[in-house]
Structure 1
Amino acid sequence: MNNTQPTDFLQRWNAIQYDLIPELKEEVGCLTPKLEKLIHILEWVRIEEFIENTWFGVGRPPHDRGALANAFVAKVVLGLSTTVGLLERLQIDRALRRLCGFPMWKRLPTEATFSRAFAEFAQNRLAERVHEVLIKEHLGERLVGHISRDGTAIEAREKPAKKAEKVAQPAEKVAKRGRPKAGEVREPKTTRIGRQLTQTLPVMLDELPTDCDRGSKCNAQGYKNSWNGYKLHLDTADCGVPISALLTSASVHDSQTAVPLSLISASRVTNLYDLMDAAYCSDELRRHSQSLGHVPLIDHNPRGGEKKQFAPHEAQRYNERTQAERANGRLKDEFGGRFVRVQGSVKVMSHLMFGVLVLAADQLMRLMT
């Protein structure tokens, strides 16, 4: 499936390979393969164009936020787990310093400046906005065959948040247990998925818990793993590009993010099939997928009964869902998903989205070569 624009890509690739890289080699010396890859990634995402100027000539001018944003992208590409490691690399690597946009004659920003800048990027959802524009620009007008939906564990270095104490409710509002009496009419219980079908996207996102807590999830081999932290939910195209992402508490079930994720993905790309594992087995989710004009392929959860198998042609299409596991694996192994050193859902989401952004750009480049 051709999801990109070969002509624009070749022009960009030739300009970088035959003009920019030779000039940089003459100026700063040899460039490693990782640094050459960083050049292409920075050219694809162009994150500095999304930085807003917050200085109006009063007080000391802040450090260039565009260079700091490029540095956080470089941190992901180079596989650096801490900001201290990034600073040390910038101090000894003139080529990296030049690529990020830091002046060679100025002192580098301090670690505290990097931390404050990252907090600003997290609050402004910088990486999320750049990722959204990247997806719409390169895949927005293309037809995507399959969207694979899955959640993955994100371990964090923070204590689980304390659960708020339940407020005592009036006796008439407490849900009664047991079978109803003869002639008694009770209001039907509504699930979160049922409520989401009648809510707007901002309301759905506000209702999803995002505090750090403890969760458990069965891995591909059927063993249950437990962790403290969060859960990242990804929609991945069959070309391996992550389309949308959500961060929730670790205890949130995967199925409770299917509706908002599908709406976010539908606003960015047009796809035909929704592929989900047995955790998403629900008639409500199937109907919702069909309402978006998609064909749902959800693995059946027998729940103690007899398991329903896919038809042969459906089983063949369902094999495309391995793209979700590959995207999760690459995010953790190559782009910082295993090294979360920040605390709080906003900063954790920003850290992960820098990795998702680089993963998307890297996968788009792979499709071209």
Structure 2
Amino acid sequence: MYIRQKPLFSFDTLMQYQPKTRLAMVFESIDLHPLLKTLPIKSIRGPKGYSSAALIKAFLAMRLCSIPTVTLLVERLKTDLVFRYECGFSLEQPVPSLATFSRFFQKIAETDSLQVLFSALVDTAIQDKVISGEVVAIDASAIDSYEKPVPKKELNSNGDSATWGAKLDTHGNQHVWFGYKLHLAVDTKSELPIAVKVTPANRNDVTQAIPLMDEIKHQPKYYCMDMGYDAKDVYQAAYERQAQAIIPLNRRKEKLPPEGMDENRTPTCSMGYPMVYWGCEREKGILKFRCPHVCGKVNCPNGSAWCSPSNYGLVIKKKVEDDPRSFCTPHRGTREWEKLYAERTSVERAFSRLKEQLGANTVRVQGIKKVTAHLMLCCIALLAGTIAVNRQIHQQKAA
């Protein structure tokens, strides 16, 4: 006859002596209190149910561990006791069912709880100096719908359903999809999202630029965007926020540049030569251009005296406030401008991480509210994971 001896330590006690896993370190970097305050208060009657904190941790673990479906998440919770413990579920209680997760996901999709948590993590990343916030890149990416594609004439006109979208890729080929668009504002230093918007696929990218700017608490110095965002309202919005929009000009089939300027909106002299950019007064928003002949850039047949009797040559000053689209600091086409615009590619790498590593391209829910919740969970997981890794690095250096 064999008698099984009771364990000397409980599972919880044993876990306290184990090295912290990656998942545990990520959860330590997340303060769930702002999210829990936004959720509806549970009724005092009926069963207590499962902890909201544990359920939201399970959804984040699903993204961090690349678990594609909730069905597989439930199976992982049943078979992996360490995983279940780190998510915050009691080992004595049954694992939440698929229906429980579905109802909770519906609840958080109907509230702004995930947006509140996302904003709190952005603030934490700024405090930890993970996010610089000086240069921000804005762009949009296609998100395929889990819903069945329908012809354009049968689409719902309420503006919130999945629609057909079309966009040119980096090679100039047109990509068509049925679903939504994920619009991101990304800190170029850390390549982390700081503002998120989700729209139907047929929504123009430029319509979400200003709403993304409005979501950013700590206003940057520069906004980098591609040619699709070349609109006067975007430049004006950036200028009003004491920032500069770094956007290539979209010629829109114009045959000739405006009179007195070249294609980069550089003023030209009386002989038609582009003048030399000679710096700017950033605080006043004034750009200075000098005579190209005096600066040695061209050999003007009329010399510099034709435009100005001064030995310094002709000088033209332009104010950014007069035309924020044409004039910017630094001036479009200069090395400094090109260097800033090159940082725009950080948003592409953010999209790549969200889709390839965190499941942003494997949407298994329908409706824009649930799709938004799915994508917000992906962004929250990316933020929390980066904050946790940064803190671990600092702890190792301090040790």
The TM-score, its normalising length taken from structure 1, stands at 0.75
Tell me which of the two structures has the higher relative contact order, counting C-alpha pairs closer than 8 angstroms and 6 or more residues apart. 1
Where in structure 2 are the equivalents of 1:202-241 lying within 5 Å?
209-238=159-188, 239-241=190-192
Distance 2:87 2:66 in 1: 16
Given residue 47 of structure 1, which amino acid in structure 2 is its aligned partner? L
**What per-residue deviation string (whole Å, max 9, x for no partner) do you get for residues 166-210 of structure 1?**
xxxxxxxxxxxxxxxxxxxxxxxxxxxxxxxxxxxxxxxxxx943
Deviation at 1:49, TM superposition (A): 5.8
Unaligned runs of 5+ in 2: 1-10, 256-262, 265-331, 394-399
Deviation at 1:240, TM superposition (A): 1.2
Match of 1:177 in 2: none
Where in structure 2 are the equivalents of 1:284-303 lying within 5 Å?
284-303=233-252
Distance 1:81 1:30 in 2: 28
Deviation at 1:284, TM superposition (A): 2.0
Does 2:31 align with 1:46? yes
1:230 to 1:120, Cα distance in 2 relative to 1, 3 A? same
8 Å contact kept, 2:66–2:359: yes
Does 2:44 align with 1:57? yes
Match of 2:231 in 1: 282
1:365 to 1:106, Cα distance in 2 relative to 1, 3 A? closer
Match of 1:145 in 2: 134
- Report the secondary structure of 2:252's partner residue: coil
Match of 1:36 in 2: 21
100, 106, 113: which is aligned to 1:119? 106
- Report the secondary structure of 1:271's partner residue: coil
Deviation at 1:362, TM superposition (A): 2.3
Match of 2:148 in 1: 159
354, 357, 360: which is aligned to 1:331? 354
Does 2:27 align with 1:27? no
Given residue 260 of structure 1, which amino acid in structure 2 is its aligned partner? P
Identity in percent: 27
Distance 1:341 1:164 in 2: 20
**What per-residue deviation string (whole Å, max 9, x for no partner) do you get for residues 242-268 of structure 1?**
100000000111001111111111xx2
Match of 2:311 in 1: none
Number of residue equivalences = 300
69, 90, 107: which is aligned to 1:103? 90
1:319 to 1:345, Cα distance in 2 relative to 1, 3 A? same
Given residue 236 of structure 2, which amino acid in structure 1 is its aligned partner? R
Distance 1:254 1:351 in 2: 20
8 Å contact kept, 1:139–1:269: no
**What per-residue deviation string (whole Å, max 9, x for no partner) do you get for residues 200-251 of structure 1?**
xxxxxxxx94321010111122211111100010000022121000000001
1:48 to 1:94, Cα distance in 2 relative to 1, 3 A? farther
8 Å contact kept, 1:127–1:350: yes
Match of 1:69 in 2: 56
Structure with higher Rg: it is 2
Does 2:234 align with 1:245? no
1:274 to 1:49, Cα distance in 2 relative to 1, 3 A? closer
8 Å contact kept, 1:55–1:62: no
345, 348, 358: which is aligned to 2:381? 358
- Report the secondary structure of 1:58's partner residue: coil
Match of 2:214 in 1: 263
Deviation at 1:363, TM superposition (A): 2.8
- Report the secondary structure of 2:134's partner residue: strand
- Greater helix percent: which structure? 1
Match of 1:205 in 2: none
Does 2:254 align with 1:254? no
Match of 2:66 in 1: 79
1:41 to 1:141, Cα distance in 2 relative to 1, 3 A? closer
1:365 to 1:164, Cα distance in 2 relative to 1, 3 A? closer
Given residue 335 of structure 1, which amino acid in structure 2 is its aligned partner? L
Distance 1:81 1:125 in 2: 24
Deviation at 1:56, TM superposition (A): 3.2
The TM-score, its normalising length taken from structure 2, stands at 0.70
Deviation at 1:41, TM superposition (A): 1.6
Deviation at 1:367, TM superposition (A): 4.5
Given residue 245 of structure 1, which amino acid in structure 2 is its aligned partner? V
Deviation at 1:118, TM superposition (A): 0.6
Distance 1:326 1:223 in 2: 20
Given residue 356 of structure 2, which amino acid in structure 1 is its aligned partner? D
